């Protein structure tokens, strides 16, 4: 089986069969990661550059580890400390790197569409590791794998995505993926952080009441307030946000069923999510991080054009 796409720019471009193939392959790689020897030769002779124009902890380490586990050669580039500060364009930077015979580019950029632009101009396979407020496809894939591991499937499951929907690429990629795979979605948060026409555009539910969202859902995916992307005041204070929209232990204690709590990280503890929830038995946040490596191995492997997992 092969992916129908040459790049992973967004979940928007994937068909359900592609998503399923990535998740199935990730599960095989997860088995590999349980073994004493975690390295496979699948990407030997493939060179990958990790091009990070924006800060990252988890995603960057996760991609790098995935590449190493697959025996790829890797180069790390971060915009700070590079010739970008001397005025070099994105295309020039990438063409210079590619002339050193690089096969794949993993890219994070604060501009929406940056990886799509590159895909039109360079021959290497591109994996979007987050572009502005647009998409973060590998995050949605690892979120999906984490939900399936706990609940068996996505179809028919109720997922609440809570918080700063407006500025979150994680939200958009999750909305595409979950709706393609037949899950039900409710978006919850303050009206100023939920785009006005999203309900009609994506066929999702919207509520401004966190209690209602938590009562409805099987899984709550809680998102960080993206203060760095907000150029106006969208809520009165972080303290008030926490009181009205924060996910708190008292809210979970009042539910009649157990729900799963997810968060892509980094968590603003005490703002969108309280510590006693983030660290509780409800939380699968560290499972998400673990699954990130297997999902990224799957994406790298499938896009590298090899035929079957060398597990």
Instruction: Give the residues lining the site for ligand NCD (CB under 6 A).
Output: 58-59, 130, 136, 139, 169-170, 224, 264-265
Question: Considering beta carbons, is residue 130 or 189 the nearer one to ligand NCD?
Answer: 130
- Based on CB atoms, which residue is closest to ligand NCD, 157 or 224? 224
Position closest to ligand NCD via CB: 224
**Distance (Å, rounded) from C-alpha 56 to C-alpha 66?**
16
> C-beta of 160: minimal distance to ligand NCD in Å?
17
What SS3 class is residue 207?
A: strand
Token pair of 95 as six digits = 């063409």
CB of 295 to ligand NCD, least distance (A): 12
Task: Report whether 53 contacts 110 (CB < 8 A).
Answer: yes
CA dist., res. 174 & res. 157, Å (int): 13
The smaller minimum CB distance to ligand NCD, of residues 74 and 173, is found at: 173
Residue 155 token pair: 């179809």
Q: Return the number of the residue (7 or 169) whose C-beta is nearest ligand NCD.
A: 169
- Identify the CA nearest to 127 among candidates 155, 103, 157: 103
Q: E strands along the chain, which residues?
A: 47-52, 73-78, 104-109, 125-131, 158-162, 184-188, 205-207, 219-222, 260-262
Please report how close the Cβ of residue 18 comes to ligand NCD at its closest, in angstroms: 21
8 A C-beta contact, residue 145 and residue 26 = yes
Give the total residue count for the chain: 311
* Minimum CB distance to ligand NCD, residue 265 (Å): 5
User: In this complex, which beta carbon is closest to ligand NCD, that of residue 109 or of residue 169?
Assistant: 169
Helix (H) or strand (E) holding 202: helix 198-202
User: Least distance (Å) from ligand NCD to the CB of residue 163?
Assistant: 9
100 DSSP assignment: T
Please identify which residue in the block is written with the tokens 């039900």. 184
In angstroms, the Cα distances linking 113 to 14, 131, 269, 291 are 16, 6, 30, 26
Smallest distance, Å, CB 59 to ligand NCD? 4
Distance CA 282, CA 284 (A): 7
Smallest gap from residue 272 Cβ to ligand NCD (A): 9
Nearer to ligand NCD, 170 or 259 (CB): 170
Give the nearer residue to ligand NCD in terms of CB position, either 46 or 285.
285
């Amino acid at each position: 089986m092969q992916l129908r796409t040459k790049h992973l720019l967004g979940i928007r471009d994937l068909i359900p069969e592609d998503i399923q193939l990535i998740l199935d392959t990730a599960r095989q790689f997860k088995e590999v990661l349980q073994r004493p020897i975690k390295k496979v030769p699948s990407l030997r002779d493939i060179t990958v550059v990790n091009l990070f124009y924006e800060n990252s902890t988890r995603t960057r380490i996760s991609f790098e580890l995935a590449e190493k586990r697959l025996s790829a050669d890797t180069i790390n580039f971060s915009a700070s400390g590079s010739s970008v500060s001397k005025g070099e364009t994105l295309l020039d930077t990438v063409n210079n790197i590619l002339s050193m015979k690089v096969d794949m580019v993993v890219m994070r950029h604060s501009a929406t569409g940056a990886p799509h632009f590159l895909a039109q101009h360079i021959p290497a396979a591109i994996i979007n590791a987050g572009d502005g407020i647009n998409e973060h496809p590998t995050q949605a894939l690892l979120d999906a794998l984490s939900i399936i591991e706990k609940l068996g499937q996505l179809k028919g499951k109720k997922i609440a995505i809570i918080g700063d929907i407006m500025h979150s690429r994680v939200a958009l990629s999750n909305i595409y993926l979950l709706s393609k795979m037949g899950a039900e979605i409710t978006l919850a948060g303050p009206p100023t952080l939920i785009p006005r026409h999203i309900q009609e555009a994506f066929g999702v539910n919207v509520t401004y009441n966190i209690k209602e969202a938590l009562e409805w859902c099987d899984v709550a995916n809680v998102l960080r307030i993206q203060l760095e992307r907000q150029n106006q005041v969208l809520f009165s204070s972080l303290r008030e946000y926490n009181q009205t929209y924060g996910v708190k232990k008292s809210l979970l204690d009042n539910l009649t069923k157990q729900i799963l709590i997810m968060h892509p990280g980094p968590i603003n503890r005490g703002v969108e999510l309280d510590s006693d929830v983030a660290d509780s038995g409800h939380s699968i946040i560290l499972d998400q991080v673990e699954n990130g490596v297997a999902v990224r191995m799957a994406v790298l492997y499938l896009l590298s054009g090899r035929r079957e997992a060398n597990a």
